[in-house]
Amino acid sequence: MDLARSVNEMRQWRRVARRSPLALFPTMGALHEGHFSLARQAREDSELVAVSIFVNPLQFGPAEDLASYPRDLDRDLELLEPLGVDVVFAPQPADFTPPQRRTTVHVAGLTDRLEGASRPGHFDGVTTIVTKLFSIVQPDTAYFSRKDFQQLVVVQAMVRDLDLPVRIVECDFVRDHDGLALSSRNANLSTQERRRALALSAALSAAVTSWDGDADVARARLVEALAAGPGVELDYAEIADPDTLEPLHGIHRGPAQALIAAWVGSTRLIDNARLPAVASATVT
């Protein structure tokens, strides 16, 4: 497994391997089984696999957890080695996000709500860095988890709009045995907070089970369930169109996406679930 610590090193690696199909999955490190499942899927699908590890400062707001975000490159490299990853691109922040940078990639509309409303500028940071990764690594495919559902939709729109020569592969995300969605930020939860965080997956599971096509009722149930969770401070709970992320109201015939964000202690967590199409629903 090779390690590229600069843009030039990564470009040189790709030039040597330019004739081989390459899969990329971008990460911010602090790797867990959710990341490893993407690596294994990429390994099955492609001749070469690249992983990027970069804690992107552009997607963190001034009051967010950039400084405390878990970092351990040596551990991440050790865990990736047996997965058949060919190259890890772990650029230095000063090299990858120089202070004199003036260009931002912005996806309008999709980034104004949900995470975009709670974290202004977050998605501009995501799309700017993902565009740079695609330009430097030059993957044929890129793997993104549905865990960050809005990010997935935003990146898909960016690739379409800019005609980028990358195929985005949607991947299921992994939950722990008790239902908690795997996240690098879970490491910041105390034992008690981790138990309290189960309210998120429990609320989504109940929403899926009770889903009858009524978006307003489903949204109200989500809010009620999370408001009742001890130690859980709700940021948002939404029932949205999976393609446009527009909030849904009334009876909805097609599939919907339930998306939530909440604070558990000082840790902000997100989760989501697909609500399937309801054959008996009627639009009024």
Distances (CA, A) of 138 to 27, 87, 124, 141, 181: 16, 13, 20, 9, 30
End-to-end C-alpha distance for the chain, whole angstroms: 57
Catalytic residue among 32, 35, 177, 252: 35
CB under 8 Å to 277, separation ≥6 — which residues?
Answer: 253, 254, 255
Nearest to 156 by CA among 110, 197, 88: 110
Could you count the other beta carbons within 10 Å of the beta carbon of residue 52? Answer: 27
Burial (CB count <10 Å: 0-12, 13-18, 19+), residue 238: buried
Q: Is 249 a catalytic residue?
A: no
d(CA 148, CA 173): 9
**Under the phi-then-psi rule, with left for phi > 0, alpha for psi from -120 to 50, and beta for the rest, what region is 269?**
beta
What are the strands, taking DSSP E only, across 146-221?
A: 167-171
Residue 174, CA atoms < 13 Å, CB-side half-sphere: 16
52 forms bridges with which residues in the sheet? 26, 89
List, by residue number, the catalytic residues.
35
